[in-house]
Each structure stands twice: as structure tokens, then as C-alpha cells.
Amino acid sequence: MIIVNNVTKSYGKIIALKNVNLKFEDSHVIAIMGENGAGKTTLLKLCTGILPFDSGEITVDGYNIINDSIKAKEQIGYLPEMPYMYERLTGREFLFYIASLRKIKDSEEKIDEITKMIGIHDFLDYEIGSYSKGMKQKISVTSAIMHNPKNLLLDEPVYGLDPLTSRAIQNFIRNKKGSTIIATHSSQLVEQIADHVYIIMRGKVILFDKVTSILKKHGSVEEAYFHIKDENV
Amino acid sequence: MFETTKVILTENSRSLKNKMREAPILYLLFSAMIIFSIFIFAYATFFFINIDINLNISLEDVFFTVFFMFLLKTVADFYNNFIKASQLSYSLSTNVKQTKTITEVFIAILLIQITIWFSFSILFLIALASFGVNVIYVFEYTIFTIGVIVAVCLGCAISINFFSPKKYRLLPMLILLGFYFQIREPLYVIFTLPLTIIHVTWSIKNSMESHLYSTRKERLKDKTQIKIRNTIKTIFHRETTVLWRDKLLYSFVFTSVSTGIFSGYLFLYGDEILIPEALRNQIGGLLPSMFLFLGIYVVIMYTGVFPSLNLFLNEEKTMWILRHIPVRNDKIIFGKVSSLSLCFLTAIPFIPYITIFTGIEKIGFLIFFLIFSYIAGIIISVPLGVKYVGKKSDIMLLYSVSMILFVILSFASVIVNMIERLFPYPIILYILIILCELLLLYASIKISSQILSLKYKSAS
């Protein structure tokens, strides 16, 4: 479970998130939607400890992301929006690098299993620098889920992936225990796998509801998004 | 018209302004050092003109130094602005002819180099004029300026053809460079300007296969080396793998060997080569120890300071990896710093090669001063690298660190010389100094780890 308590984050004079309160409960898939620059990626980076924040508190399964960062980070798997990795390492070397740092047992079997599932296994011994964007995304996805984290934070998880891999990842998320947080622009993905959705606008949460309730009220997440956006402009 | 040129120039100037805003003290220091260096060169020129002695450094030597500096800078700039510039795909996909777009990149790079050349040379001439030297050398200045243009043409052509599947196209340039090296006459370089323009035009026409050039490298042999390690070993292994694959270790060894031979040679014959006979008695005695010092300085800068700065400067877009994993900052820094031990091994060949010239009696001092300087370089560079994490290839930072280190090592060298005079066998003292320095290195790593945490915690 991840709790974001009254968090504010600014980049110089620009306020990315203002007094945000969120709760990502276990056994739920929670989507975060919002326009470009709304603060979705920033929120995920704060929850993973990649970025500092100005005020407030974030806890991951009870561990403070700043004061107990090691314990908190052990509970997290993270897929960034842009999968930048060490280009001179091969995919296999990069995954073993992350597995070593995370001290994952049976990492070889896990890497083999996941990379076969998402269709990158045959390219593991090529340098990452020579990969296409989709291939990099697959390696990045593997690094995020191979330690079976309790809390999974995914920034545009299916962007750049082929339909088969996209479906495999969606199945993985559905069957996963713990909380999964997805920042995405795809209302279709939200409808398919999310239980709850947060809509953020200009650094503030303007909606939190169950996806089923939204579908009942508005017919689709996309319609709900436009409706709520118009109301708040 | 010239949209791509304008965009590249705007991006470069904004990036410079941005960097100056982010690290004003560093850039102030850098500007002061540049102006100081230019005035020192101007004063040295004035001094040698006034004493009316023919210095053994010729105008040709200066010309070719400037020429090769601009050649190398152009290769790097063209690589960054064309070969690896994925943002250029936007302008290349428009209905403007691709050759025209690439020519505009070439023009932008030419303008950047010419601006740098004019800025530095005019500042030098102003400094020279302020000492009362007549600076009207129109012919020489024109030759140097055309030399810079030739270097830019050649640099672009080299960059295009080196990062292409058809590397044999480099041959004409290699022949031309060989010709310059053989003739050593600036006028011949100037005469080849039309040739280089033809060659760069032809290269630009055939340059599309170089844009975003990459080869898919399979590394099946290395598969057996992959295993789970502890944190420090894992980070050490990653750092050294990259050093190995980028072939940096070979270049470190080459630098150590060539610097050893070069400074050893100057140790023996530097007086005769560089100092006019009239001055040899007055300042000649200082030169041998100065060349030993400079040799060690160059080796540790290249094999120690640059890699230790780059440990964090290179983590521009990959910092998320280290930030999101559950590993303590000091372990990350220990892992990274431990990879410098491999770089240190590449500095060792300097010792046997310079000893060929200096004789065995200086070996104790050389070993001590190399280790001392190397550790001092790491002590200074690591916290600065952490402070400016992600600012890849920040030449200003490298220059500032090199200047700070130069001052520190100069003082250290004076103290070591005094120790050598006071104690005939100072081995125990040397060991004690190194041990103290290792403690300082430990402190530096801890401070770096604090800086890394502070960068994170300061805002929260």
C-alpha cells in the first residue's frame, strides 16, 4: 500500500503537484490519468524515491520513502516512461545487474520466464544500444517485475509494445497481488484492467472513483475524462 | 531559409546560458581561468619577442595545434548534432531536401567553430596589444582562419564516414592528414581548402546512412561471465564493462606509455629543444623536474580524474536506475570508485617508460607521486562529479577540476621535493602520507554520499 499525504512538488516556480493526497491500496489496480504535464509521471517518481518533494509524506507499506528508503524501495517495481538504460550492456547483463542490486534469488529462472513471456528472450545477448524502443520497453518491464514487487508503478506500460506483449503484461497485472499504479493516457487500458482511477489536473486530484461507477455514469472513461475536464477548466 | 542552422545555434546558446545559471561559480572560475591563460600566453609571447631570441617553437607548430584542436572538436560536434541527433529526424522528414538540412548542420558547426576561434584569437590579440606588441599580422591571421575552416570541413567528413558502414571512405582524409603531417607547412593546408570542400560536399550527399548509425552487437562470449554478485562488485563490474567496451582502457594505456616516453625524452633533452641557449643557464635547471611533474599530471588527469568525474556525470538519463533500487548511496559510490582501481592499473606503464630516461634512482619518487596524485585526483573529482550529476561532458567542469588539481599538485610537488632533501630514504614517510590520503579518500566518498542524499533530501 502506498500513501501519499499532502505532498507538494515544484520545479522552480512551476508547481507540479499541490497538497496531493492519494491512497493506493493492496489488491487494486489504480490508474492515474490527466493531461500532458498534469503531474502523473512526477507522482510516480516521488513514490519510487527518484525525485525529492517540497513537503508532505509518502509511505510504502508503512516505510517512509525518505527516512526508510531502502525498505520502501524493496517493495517497489518501477517502469519509467522513457526506458533509458546502460546502452553498452546487453539486455541480459542489465537484468542481472538489477537482479544483483535487488538480491533476487533464482534470478536466472525468473529472467528466462519473464523474457520468454514478453518475447525478448532471443535478443537478450545484444547490446541495449542496438534495441528498438519496444525492445527497450520489454527489458525495462522485466526489470520492474522480476522481483515480484508488492507495489508496481508503471508509467505508460504498454506504450510501444506489440499487441501480444501488451496482452501478456495486462494478464500479469490482473493476476498480481498488491497494488499496481498505472499512469496512462489510454482510457481503453484503464477500462480493461483498472479498478479505480484518479484524474489529475494541474497538479491537483480532481476525481477518484471506481472504474465500474464511472462506466455506469458516463458510459466510458474517455467520456468521463472530457466531462470532468470541462467542469474543471 | 537556414531553419536548422538557426535551431542548432539557438539550442547551443540556450544550453550554455542554462549551464551558467545552474553553476555560476564554476563558470565564473572557468571564465577567469580562460582569461588568465590567454594573458599568460600573451605575456609569454611578448617576453620572447622582446628578448629577441628565436624560440624553438615555430608558427607552424602553433598552426597545427590549433588545426587539430578544431578538427577534433568538429568531429565531436558533428557527431552530437547529426550522427546521434535523433531530434534531427523531424527536419529530415520534412519536404526540404535532406542534403540541404545536413548542409545547414554543417554551417551551424562551422559558425560555432569560427565564433570560438574569433573570440579566443581576438582576446589574445587584445591582450598582446595591451603589452604594446604590434598585432598587425593580417596574412598570418588569414592563414590561421582558413586553417580552422579546413579543419571544420575535414572534421565533418571524418565524422560522417567514420560512423558509416563504408569506413573505407575515410581513406582520402587519412591520405590528406598524412600529407599535412609530412609537409608541415600551413600554406599547403590552405591550398587544399577546395579539395576539402569538395570532399565534405560529397560526404554530406552520402551521409544519410550515418544518421543514427548503430550496429547490433551480439555478446554471446560474455554470457558466461554474467552472475549474481554483491552490490559493490555488481557496480564495479558494470563500470569496468563499459570502460572495457568503450575501449577506454586501451586508450589509457596508450596515453600512459606515450606520456612516459614523451616526458622522459623532455626530461633529458627538454632544455636543448625548448629553451634558447641564452636562457638555458637561468631557467633550464627547472625543466627536468617540471617535465616529470607534467607527465604525471597528464597521466592522472586522463586515467584518473576524467573517469572519476564521469562516474556520475555520465548518469545523465540513467540516474533513475540507481535512485529506485534499494541500495545505500555510499555503496553505490564505493562500487563506482572501486572501478577506478582498474583505471589506475593503466597508469602504471608510465613508470617503466619514463624510468628508461630518468634512471632507476628516481623510481621511488615517481611511484609515490603517481599514487599520491591519482588518489588526490579522485578525492577532488568524486564529490564534484556527484554535485553535478548528469551534466555529461561538461568541459567547463573538467577544466576547473584540472586547474584546482594543478595548483594542489604543484604545492605537493614542492613539499615532496623538500622531503626528499631532508630525508634521504623517505619510504616510511611516503607510506604514511598515502595512508593519510586513503583516509581522506574514505572521507571524500562519505561526503559524496552525503551530497547525493542532500541533493535528494534538501527539498523535502
Range of the domain at B177: 3-210
pLDDT given for residue B119 in this prediction: 92
B306 and B202 in one domain?
no
A154 and A62 in one domain?
yes
**Are the CB atoms for A54 and A204 separated by under 8 Å?**
no
Percent of chain A with pLDDT strictly greater than 90: 53
Q: Do B241 and A48 touch (CB under 8 A)?
A: no
pTM of the model: 0.80
Say if A145 is an interface residue toward chain B (CB within 8 Å): no
A165 and A69 in one domain?
yes
CA distance A129 to B434: 40
Q: Does some domain include residue A223?
A: yes
Number of domains in chain B: 2
pLDDT at B458 > cutoff 70 = no
Q: Does some domain include residue B230?
A: yes
B314 and B165 in one domain?
no
Range of the domain at A182: 2-75+149-232
Q: Do A96 and B242 touch (CB under 8 A)?
A: no
- Using DSSP, state whether A112 is helix, strand or coil: helix
B220, B226, B238: residue with CB nearest A86:
B238
A92 and A199 in one domain?
no
Q: Does some domain include residue B294?
A: yes
Number of domains in chain A: 2
- Using DSSP, state whether A50 is helix, strand or coil: coil
A49, A89, A126: residue with CB nearest B324:
A49
| CATH number of domain containing A225 | 3.40.50.300
- Angle at the Cα of A137 from the Cα atoms of B15 and B336, rounded to 5 degrees: 60
**Are the CB atoms for B125 and B24 separated by under 8 Å?**
no
Say if A212 is an interface residue toward chain B (CB within 8 Å): no
A221 and A203 in one domain?
yes
- Name residue B4's beta-bridge partners: none
Q: Does some domain include residue B65?
A: yes
pLDDT given for residue B285 in this prediction: 67
Q: Do A130 and B216 touch (CB under 8 A)?
A: yes
Q: List, for residues B4-28, the tens digit of each pLDDT value.
A: 999 999 988 888 888 777 777 777 7
**Are the CB atoms for B152 and B110 separated by under 8 Å?**
yes
Say if A62 is an interface residue toward chain B (CB within 8 Å): no
Q: Do B324 and A50 touch (CB under 8 A)?
A: yes
pLDDT at B281 > cutoff 80 = no
A186 and A71 in one domain?
yes
Residues on chain A touching B234 (C-beta within 8 angstroms)? 97, 100-101
**Are the CB atoms for B260 and B352 separated by under 8 Å?**
yes
Domain-ending residue, one of B190, B210, B230: B210
Q: Report in angstroms the alpha-carbon separations of A109 from A114, A121, A149, B238, B427.
A: 9, 12, 16, 21, 53
Q: Does some domain include residue B376?
A: yes
B261 and B226 in one domain?
yes
Q: Does some domain include residue A132?
A: yes
Q: List, for residues B217-270, the tens digit of each pLDDT value.
A: 777 666 666 777 889 999 999 999 988 888 889 989 999 999 999 899 888 887
A228 and A156 in one domain?
yes
A34 and A92 in one domain?
no
**Are the CB atoms for A91 and B216 separated by under 8 Å?**
no
A154 and A55 in one domain?
yes
Q: Does some domain include residue B439?
A: yes
Q: Does some domain include residue B100?
A: yes
Q: Does some domain include residue B143?
A: yes
* Chain B CA closest to residue A69: B326
B371 and B292 in one domain?
yes
B354 and B271 in one domain?
yes
- Give me chain A's average pLDDT, please: 90
CA distance A157 to A182: 7
Q: Does some domain include residue A80?
A: no
A20 and A65 in one domain?
yes
CA distance A163 to chain B (A): 24
Q: Report in angstroms the alpha-carbon separations of B321 from A41, A83, A127, A155.
A: 15, 10, 17, 15
Domain-ending residue, one of B188, B210, B232: B210
CA distance A31 to A156: 10
Q: Do A70 and B327 touch (CB under 8 A)?
A: yes
ipTM above 0.90, yes or no: no
B225 and B121 in one domain?
no
CA neighbor of B321 nearest in space, from A25, A143, A12, A178: A143
Residues on chain A touching B331 (C-beta within 8 angstroms)? none
Pairwise pLDDT comparison (B131 vs A212), residue with the higher score = A212
Say if A98 is an interface residue toward chain B (CB within 8 Å): yes
Domain-ending residue, one of B210, B231, B251: B210
A62 and A169 in one domain?
yes
Average pLDDT value for residue range B441-457: 84
pLDDT given for residue B24 in this prediction: 78
B253 and B177 in one domain?
no
A143 and A90 in one domain?
yes
Q: List, for residues B147-195, the tens digit of each pLDDT value.
A: 999 999 999 999 999 988 888 888 988 999 999 888 888 899 999 999 9
pLDDT at B397 > cutoff 80 = no
* Chain A CA closest to residue B242: A88
B186 and B228 in one domain?
no
Say if A76 is an interface residue toward chain B (CB within 8 Å): yes
A16 and A60 in one domain?
yes
CA distance A40 to chain B (A): 16
A72, A86, A103: residue with CB nearest B318:
A86
Percent of chain B with pLDDT strictly greater than 70: 92
Say if A96 is an interface residue toward chain B (CB within 8 Å): yes
Domain-ending residue, one of A127, A148, A169: A148
Q: Do A84 and B318 touch (CB under 8 A)?
A: yes
Q: List, for residues B309-352, the tens digit of each pLDDT value.
A: 888 888 878 888 988 999 999 999 999 999 999 999 999 999 99
Domain-ending residue, one of A110, A133, A148: A148
Pairwise pLDDT comparison (A230 vs B108), residue with the higher score = B108
- Candidates A51, A100, A123, A136, partner chain B, best to mutate (most B CBs within 10 A): A100
Per the listing, cell 507495489 goes with A151
B244 and B199 in one domain?
no
B99 and B37 in one domain?
yes
Widest CA span of chain B, in angstroms? 77
Q: Do A125 and B216 touch (CB under 8 A)?
A: no
Q: Half-sphere exposure (CA, 13 Å, Cβ side) for B133?
A: 21
